[in-house]
Amino acid sequence: MSGKNWDRVPIDAQSIDAPLSMAAVFLVVTVANEASALAKVCSVLDGLDDLVKTVGFRDLSGRLSCIAGIGRELWDRLRQDKRPKELKPFAPIKGPIHAAPATPGDLLFHIRSERPDLCFEFERILLDSLGDAVTMVDEVSGFRYFDARDLLGFVDGTANPTGLDLPASALVGDEDGDFAGGSYVVVQKYLHDLGAWKQTPTPVQEEIIGRTKIDNIEIDDDDAPRKSHKSLATITDADGNEYDILRDNMPFGRPGHQEFGTYFIGYSRYLWVIEKMLQRMYVGDPPGAYDRLLDFSTPHTGATFFAPTRSTLQMLAQAAPEK
């Protein structure tokens, strides 16, 4: 989506393949019912590309990027004749022990940069422009933690697709030609019980995740009595083809409030792939053998969006107010 010119001008809106960053802000908002609110939102979405340039150009090495995702209800308000084939609201899941709630969300903004101040500045101007057309549902500032570790201490993101596998896994293709180049995005804000995690011996933590803690080596758990997080999140079809997603999870927290979290964000060519991962995590494989990561990590939000290409986003934004 971004072209391959990061070294020349490393800024772009809707760049799902933008590099993993040191800092990120995740904003989820709802849009007020009035037509004037929708018109305001459309005008801001139309100008998102310019706003990325306005802020990002002040330090090109900061690699500011922003992806806007649109939820199903807002999509229907914007343009009712065509919609990404799989776009639907987040389906809550009830497993035997753990549940994943669905929470409101019309728009997601995933703001990334090497510099937290660039993320902050972009967010400040963005929200100023949106004004009372939107209501904040959730706002999380994430940070890269040492060698891309989550707050449980494990390196997170290793199995992400790279090179040509990245667009093949994360971007819609010819199967939905009108929305090719876009991506389904699922977000969940998890809070960890770090006290209980610390009481868990490292070998058990490694069994739960499916990788060693210090050096991040994958553990073969094909014959293990209980599948790890890594194995439950591995999706294959009947022919043995594996389906990956692109994750850009970020730790966040406020130690003074005992708040320690992981903001999960997954981009996928097919929404069903993330849904199947969630089913396997919460319901378990076999059913009942759920992901033990959930004994220490509780989701507080859950929402699904579609991030269109920059040109589709502009087309939607320009067309909608006339309807």
Q: Is 255 exposed, middle or buried (0-12, 13-18, 19+ CB in 10 A)?
A: exposed
If binding is defined by CB under 6 A, does position 280 make contact with ligand HEM? no
- Shortest approach of ligand HEM to residue 126 CB, angstroms? 26
Judged by CB under 6 A, which of 45, 277, 283, 303 binds ligand HEM? 277
How far, in Å, CA of 240 to CA of 269, rounded?
18
- Lookup result for tokens 């799902």: 16
How far, in Å, CA of 91 to CA of 108, rounded?
17
Binding part of the chain for ligand HEM, among 17-25, 68-76, 150-158, 176-184 by CB under 6 A, reads: 150-158
If binding is defined by CB under 6 A, does position 148 make contact with ligand HEM? no
Judged by CB under 6 A, which of 40, 63, 72, 230 binds ligand HEM? 230
Strands (E), the chain: 12-13, 23-31, 65-70, 93-94, 99-100, 107-113, 134-143, 183-192, 235-236, 242-243, 246-247, 250-254, 259-268, 297-299, 303-307
Residue nearest to ligand HEM (CB): 159
Judged by CB under 6 A, which of 113, 262, 301, 304 binds ligand HEM? 262
Judged by CB under 6 A, which of 36, 80, 158, 258 binds ligand HEM? 158
Determine which one of 12, 17, 49, 156 is catalytic. 156
Q: Is the peptide bond before 251 cis (omega within 30 degrees of 0)?
A: no
- Lookup result for tokens 């758990």: 221
If binding is defined by CB under 6 A, does position 234 make contact with ligand HEM? yes
Q: Is 12 a catalytic residue?
A: no
Residues of this chain that interact with ligand HEM (CB under 6 A) are 150, 152, 154-159, 188, 190, 209, 211, 229-230, 233-234, 245, 247, 262, 264, 266, 274, 277-278, 293, 297
User: Which residues are catalytically annotated?
Assistant: 156
